[in-house]
Amino acid sequence: MKKNYAIKAACLMLLGAGYAEMAHAQTGIGTLTPHASAQLDVTSTNKGVLVPRMTTAQRTAIATPADGLLVYDTDTKTFWFNKTGPGWTQITSGGFTIPYASIENNAGTLFSLTNNNDGTSIEGVNSTTTSSVAAVRGQISSTAPGGFSSAVRGINNGTGGLGIGVWGSQDGSGWGVYGSTPNGLGVYGNATTNGYGVYANSNSGTGLNATSTNGVAASVVINNNANSNNALTASTVGNGNVVSISTTGTGKGLLANTTSGFAIHGITANQTSAGVVADNNAGGEAIVGRNTSNIAGAVVGRNDGGGYGVHGFIGTDTTSTGIGVYGRVGVNGSRGRAGRFENFSQTNIVANTMEVASNGNGNIPDNTKGNVSSFVLNNTNSVGAAVRGEVNTIFGNFGAAAIFGKSSGTGGFAGLFHASNTNGNGPSLVAITDGNGNAITANAGKNGNAVEANIDGNGRSLYAWVPSFSDSGRAAEFRHFSADNDFAVVTAKTVGNGNAGEFMVDRTTGTSAAVLGTVNSIFANFGTAGIYGRSEGTGGYAGLFYASNPAGNGPGVLSLTEGSGNAITANAGGTGDGIESSCDGSGNAVYGFIPNFGTGRAGRFANFNNANGNPVVHITTTGTGSTILANHTGPSGNLAIFQSGGTNVARINKAGKGFFNDGTQNSGADLAEAFDVTEDVAEYEPGDVLSIAEDADRTVEKSSGAYSSLVLGVYATKPGVLLTEEGIDSDLKGKVPMGVVGVIPTKVCLEGGAIKRGDLLVTSSQRGVAMKADLKKVKTGQVIGKALQNYSGTGNGKINVFVNIK
């Protein structure tokens, strides 16, 4: 609901005018006693308050207007006030409550009432008992009307004739005025000069009544051609029919056809009469014409007054066996034509040489009946045509056709060919051209299909082929010639489980593509593609390429580009993968290479989203092979380079040496080196104190004897760095990781007393176990390291020791 409130008073502070009295921080102009509720009270009986006046442009240019700011707009001639939120609000008079809706975009008159007396300038009354109620309603909600538009418009500016712009009234049994259409005029009246647009009057029935179920209940047309009046004039002042034509079905009530006179011409100046009347109440012909002439007709009806030449009709018989006009040949062995209609004038182009028309409903159970015309050649050995049409012209204009079928209603076919014998093998329609024109040209001028084909059996709805003797034709070609047409040139769709389309080059020595898609555009918009595949369901593939021959060596997909664009660009808009590839055999799931003449990269992975915390490349294997194999077979370079912000921070050279700008951080706590041992490696365990073996080179053993100077390190539990002289592929079998520097869990005992943090540790008399050192006995090379934990437990234990042999 929308309300406009009129502002009844405006407050304005005026300085230096009239007189003012200050009382209790209030100001009065024209009064000594300002109202208790007013900060400023302006009182006058002959003057008003003048607020700032400005144009709309000046008003809307006010920077940051205050809430409640008031001005007068000289463009709209109204007051405006600023309101926080909506902004400038126009002050108007009046208002609506009721359910009231408003959507405006203006361009004049949204609502106007003028009444200078005698009532009613818009009244809508509705005391419904429902159905399609409305008491005044006007609506145009486009589907682009234009034209004269109007959804209810009545204008009467007088000038006589008793008036009435639009007036509909109904007090029973039917419409006051009612018009409804699709496809044309519900009720339309137009008279700009000399009377009647539509005028019908009845005081006791049928002023004008026209009805139709399937077309033309009345059509009276003059499309000028200089007019000469009378498309239809019927007049009577009583005593019977002026025109009364009735038919109950298949006959013609009245058929008149003329190219320049007569067709049926009947004139009477009473004579109790008719121009032409023929009756036969005994079952015979009413009019029969006979002739043996080779140049004249058997029946010629001529009326120089302009009536019918010959008119034949069935008057009352409803057996459907009657014939209005019957022409026969072959009687008594005669030969010739059963009927011929000929036009001798080349300029006779406003009428047809022969016209057959019917307003019958047709016969659905038996379509051999109820037709406007029917031609039958009833001879199983005949090679003739039931209908043969021929046109001999140099022009290809619309209508210049041997057979021209037209459907002018909202249904029906312009042509129908039906091979009705279920055992027949002949086609329903054959079109052949011996010239350079098309055998068939089809055009749909509106929303229908130019060609629609369907099949009930196992054949093809559409089968186009080029015979074996043609070297240059195409089985089919589809084109758009409109640059503004955004629809697909060809659409194939199926609701079955078969393919929507199949293309095959069935030639083992062929070098052509089954499908060639070409797009010629300077743009790379989404959809601008030589081939565009789309999957709209929750499954299925937008594209599938399958090299199905197990002996074949061709790729499933080959993508090449001669320009600067990507050969393949893939993007997953959801949670799927941009590219997923797999390999069932011994090949590579993804193989990128640069040929010996290329200068690019075999692969590149980049993340351009600063907020994306996922790794750029994730490699996982559940097999026993390496996750990554990097093989450098060139003469120089590095195995790997790692950069931060475009600057090298780490690299591994071709020999396998690693270089790290900011050092390394390892999960282990010590530096260890792999050493051989004198005994089986299974006899050793993390925490064992190790000494140099005296009976083998570069070999260690468990320490033995207190204060040994041979002590070298401790069996590392989890070394951060493990050094070795072996190659990187060695499994170091038979060796132990001896920690030489760092924090290492170490076996200890109480042989030298309780151990406290910071105590120096040396070898004890127990093999592989350390003890607290007596500083008076310690010599250079005997200290294992310093204790990082206290130990005073029973038996041997294991504590963290910072190992550093000294």
What is the 3 state secondary structure string of 96-125? Answer: CCCCCCCCCCCCCCCCCCCCCCCCCCCCCC
Does 406 reside within a domain?
no
Strand partners, 90: 80
Give the residue-averaged pLDDT of 353-362. 83
In whole angstroms, give the CA distance from residue 576 to residue 572: 6
Which is more confident, 183 or 675? Answer: 675
Which is more confident, 477 or 310? Answer: 477
Which range, of 3-17, 410-424, 514-528, averages the lowest pLDDT? Answer: 3-17
Give the residue-averaged pLDDT of 443-448. 85
Does 103 reside within a domain?
no
Q: In the structure, what pLDDT confidence band is assigned to residue 259 with cuts at 50, 70 and 90? A: confident
Which is more confident, 689 or 45? Answer: 689
Side chain identity at residue 41, one-letter code:
D
- Domain shared by 788 and 707, yes or no: yes
In sequence order, the 6+-apart residues with CB closer than 8 A to the CB of 628 are: 619
- Domain shared by 636 and 742, yes or no: no
Degrees to nearest 5, angle at CA 297 with 351 and 345: 30
Query: For residue 104, what pLDDT is reported?
Result: 59
- Domain shared by 676 and 791, yes or no: yes
- Domain shared by 712 and 794, yes or no: yes
Give 239-254 pLDDT, tens digit per residue: 778 888 877 777 777 7
Give 732-762 pLDDT, tens digit per residue: 999 999 999 999 999 999 999 999 999 999 9
User: What are the Cα distances from residue 19, in Å, to 22, 30, 44, 45, 47?
Assistant: 10, 7, 12, 16, 15
Per DSSP bridges, beta strands 40-42 and 26-29 are parallel
Please report the DSSP string for 646-709 in residue order.
TEEEEEEETTS-EEETT----SSSEEEEEEEESS-GGG--TT-EEEE-SSSTTEEEE--STT-T
Side chain identity at residue 566, one-letter code:
N
User: What are the Cα distances from residue 682, in Å, to 187, 300, 695, 734, 739?
Assistant: 109, 131, 20, 9, 18
Last residue of a domain, one of 664, 695, 720: 664
Does 677 reside within a domain?
yes
Which is more confident, 172 or 795? Answer: 795
Give 21-51 pLDDT, tens digit per residue: 444 457 888 888 888 777 787 888 888 888 8
Does 219 reside within a domain?
no
- Residue 6 reports pLDDT greater than 80: no
Give 156-196 pLDDT, tens digit per residue: 777 776 778 787 777 777 777 777 788 777 787 777 777 77
Strand partners, 671: 721, 741
In whole angstroms, give the CA distance from residue 500 to residue 494: 5
Query: For residue 20, what pLDDT is reported?
Result: 40
In whole angstroms, give the CA distance from residue 672 to residue 692: 15
Give 640-651 pLDDT, tens digit per residue: 999 999 999 999
User: What are the Cα distances from residue 736, in Å, to 401, 682, 699, 702?
Assistant: 102, 10, 10, 11
Query: For residue 19, what pLDDT is reported?
Result: 37
Give the residue-averaged pLDDT of 54-59. 95
In whole angstroms, give the CA distance from residue 798 to residue 761: 13
Query: For residue 770, what pLDDT is reported?
Result: 98
Sheet containing strand 26-29, edge to edge, reads 20-23, 26-29, 40-42
- Domain shared by 689 and 769, yes or no: yes
Q: In the structure, what pLDDT confidence band is assigned to residue 277 with cuts at 50, 70 and 90? A: confident
Degrees to nearest 5, angle at CA 146 with 144 and 152: 100
- Domain shared by 720 and 766, yes or no: yes
Side chain identity at residue 734, one-letter code:
G
Query: For residue 101, what pLDDT is reported?
Result: 57
**Phi, psi dihedrals of residue 56, rounded to the nearest 5°:** -60, -40
Per DSSP bridges, beta strands 699-702 and 785-787 are unpaired
Give 653-664 pLDDT, tens digit per residue: 887 878 889 888
* Nearest one of 19, 39, 38, 37 to 29, comparing CA atoms: 19
- Residue 473 reports pLDDT greater than 90: no
- Domain shared by 678 and 656, yes or no: no
Q: pTM of the entire structure?
A: 0.48
Question: Which tokens sit at 24?
Answer: 């209790």
CB neighbourhood size of 704 (10 A): 16
User: What are the Cα distances from residue 161, in Å, to 118, 440, 524, 542, 698?
Assistant: 20, 59, 68, 72, 132
Per DSSP bridges, beta strands 711-715 and 689-692 are antiparallel
Does 692 reside within a domain?
yes
Does 275 reside within a domain?
no
Question: Which tokens sit at 123?
Answer: 């009244």
Which is more confident, 276 or 565? Answer: 565
Give the residue-averaged pLDDT of 362-370. 85
Give the residue-averaged pLDDT of 209-214. 80
Give 59-109 pLDDT, tens digit per residue: 999 999 989 899 999 999 998 899 888 788 888 765 555 665 555 555 657
Last residue of a domain, one of 664, 681, 698: 664
Total domain count for the chain? 3
- Domain shared by 637 and 730, yes or no: no
**Top-confidence range, 381-390, 547-556, 777-786:** 777-786
Strand partners, 765: none
Query: For residue 335, what pLDDT is reported?
Result: 86
- Residue 378 gets which letter from DSSP? -
- Domain shared by 652 and 758, yes or no: no
In whole angstroms, give the CA distance from residue 316 to residue 313: 9
In whole angstroms, give the CA distance from residue 462 to residue 464: 7
Q: Which helix (H) or strand (E) holds 208?
A: none
Query: For residue 144, what pLDDT is reported?
Result: 83
- Domain shared by 50 and 81, yes or no: yes
Query: For residue 200, what pLDDT is reported?
Result: 81
- Residue 711 reports pLDDT greater than 50: yes
- Domain shared by 799 and 686, yes or no: yes
- Domain shared by 37 and 61, yes or no: yes
- Residue 452 reports pLDDT greater than 90: no
**Top-confidence range, 280-294, 317-331, 510-524, 731-745:** 731-745
Does 695 reside within a domain?
yes
Per DSSP bridges, beta strands 87-90 and 670-677 are unpaired
CB neighbourhood size of 776 (10 A): 5
> What's the domain range around 653?
618-664
Spacing of C-alpha 371 from chain mean position = 44
Q: In the structure, what pLDDT confidence band is assigned to residue 530 with cuts at 50, 70 and 90? A: confident
Last residue of a domain, one of 36, 71, 90: 90
Does 429 reside within a domain?
no
Query: For residue 695, what pLDDT is reported?
Result: 94
Query: For residue 211, what pLDDT is reported?
Result: 82
**What whole-number percentage of the chain has pLDDT above 90?**
28
- Averaged confidence pLDDT in the chain: 84
Residue with tokens 């062995």: 333
Query: For residue 299, what pLDDT is reported?
Result: 78
Question: Which tokens sit at 631?
Answer: 């093989």
Please report the DSSP string for 717-754 in residue order.
SS-SEEE-SS-TT---TTEEEEEEEEEEEEEE-STT--
**Top-confidence range, 334-348, 497-511, 519-533, 691-705:** 691-705
For residue 60, give the 3-state DSSP assignment: helix
Query: For residue 231, what pLDDT is reported?
Result: 74
Query: For residue 107, what pLDDT is reported?
Result: 63
Strand partners, 673: 723, 738
Side chain identity at residue 264, one-letter code:
I
Query: For residue 7, what pLDDT is reported?
Result: 35
Query: For residue 443, what pLDDT is reported?
Result: 86
Give the residue-averaged pLDDT of 410-431. 88
